Structure 1
């Protein structure tokens, strides 16, 4: 009878032992999971700290050079002098916007993009204005682009570009109108033009090299006026009026 009771007690203990061992395993698993989270957080903080140090404080990612691309009329020296890129400090802290603002102060610059080229350079990509005419103010010559912006002082007028002369009443809008007229001219007509006279936004004339005069008017319907003028010049006359392209006149 005693032996039977002993076996019964042992039989009861074995399930309890298994439950205790399973509970202990679960506890160890929970502790390991907790430590895994702690370890992951520690590693993440360390990685972030290392990244901050590398980017902002170490010499590994400092601004050491400047790349200038897209400049043809401006020299690299002019670009760098205007950009004033701070070198020697962290590349990440260089104020790209301020560099762009300084470069846009150059009239020759139509647009500019400043970016970081890791690990050590600042890249300046410039789009320069393209001259379509020469602005002749009497005492000085400058380039004139298609939007009417004057830039780049010239010693003499380059061949192949028409001159634009402005009257005392010509403002920036009138200058933009004059540039639009130049752009609209057919190449064959442009070769005949000595200069474009801009008095106001509505009073623009073309003075041809042979002394003939074209009354153009404003820059409105410029393409239509250019097409009409190309045909009208076949008529022998001294003055051609295309200010109303649907009803041109000559005299």
Structure 2
């Protein structure tokens, strides 16, 4: 192998330092220009994508048939039928889910006497869910020969042909208001089961005018629903002594009327 002698570079052959510096400056300038253009285009592309996504979203939610009402589900009903709730709700089939007036649907269902609370929500992508909480009867009210269920708030919400034997009976008149009926309901709820079994019916003539008629024929002046738990304890002790009437309206000073 023959090795040729290396010829040393002369001054004229070496790269000019100024030339190298200008070359590096041009490259840096080109990179800065490219970055500036990319930043501008990045914002343009991002804006275009954002507008496109917004338009697509509006079309999907408000214009397309993909997110329209196709079914309505009901939960929590027992006394009411599902069809009664659906009829009251009157949710338009095929309506756009996002445009539904949930408040109006809620108000219509709440108009059913047996409904205590109702919640209406969207079930994406194509459903509506109606959850109802029905009123719970605590007694049966006899008004002008008709029997109606009474809840703990004093609301009458359904009729009976025959009063259920499992519910205590409240006797009143049509002139008695909701507040007095609610008071009677709270008295009924406060009676322990053993005492409630001895009560034939609860009478109410107005606020603070609640009486009990016992199966034995004795009457009890109860008064208001205040201190009902204490009144019940006092009455249980008094019933050990048969009497024509008992007054526990002031439980600390009960009064007994002998037969």
Q: Same fold (TM over 0.5)?
A: yes
Cα distance in 2 between the residues matched to 1:158 and 1:216: 24
TM superposition shift of 1:39: 1.2
Structure 1 length as normaliser, TM-score? 0.94
Name the SS for the 1:240 alignment partner.
strand
Map of 2:201 onto structure 1: 195
Cα distance in 2 between the residues matched to 1:167 and 1:149: 14
Per-residue Cα deviation, 1:85-140 (whole angstroms, up to 9, x for no partner)? 11102111111110011111111100000001111110000000000000110232
Conservation of the 8 A alpha-carbon contact between 2:144 and 2:174: no
TM superposition shift of 1:167: 3.7
Please point out which of 139, 143, 149 is paired with 1:137: 143
* Gap regions ≥5 residues in structure 2: 1-9
TM superposition shift of 1:78: 0.7
Q: How many aligned residue pairs are there?
A: 248
TM superposition shift of 1:168: 5.8
Cα distance in 2 between the residues matched to 1:9 and 1:186: 109
Map of 2:79 onto structure 1: 73
Counting only pairs closer than 5 Å after superposition, residues 1-251 of structure 1 correspond to structure 2 as 10-167=16-173, 170-251=176-257
Cα distance in 1 between the residues matched to 2:96 and 2:249: 60
Whichever structure has more helix as a proportion of its residues is 1
Conservation of the 8 A alpha-carbon contact between 2:117 and 2:134: yes
Conservation of the 8 A alpha-carbon contact between 1:193 and 1:208: yes
Larger Rg: 1 or 2? 2
- Aligned-residue CA RMSD (Å): 1.7
* Gap regions ≥5 residues in structure 1: none
Per-residue Cα deviation, 1:205-238 (whole angstroms, up to 9, x for no partner)? 1011221111101111111111211222111112
TM superposition shift of 1:10: 3.5
After superposing the two structures, state which structure 1 stretch, 60-69 or 9-18, moved more: 9-18
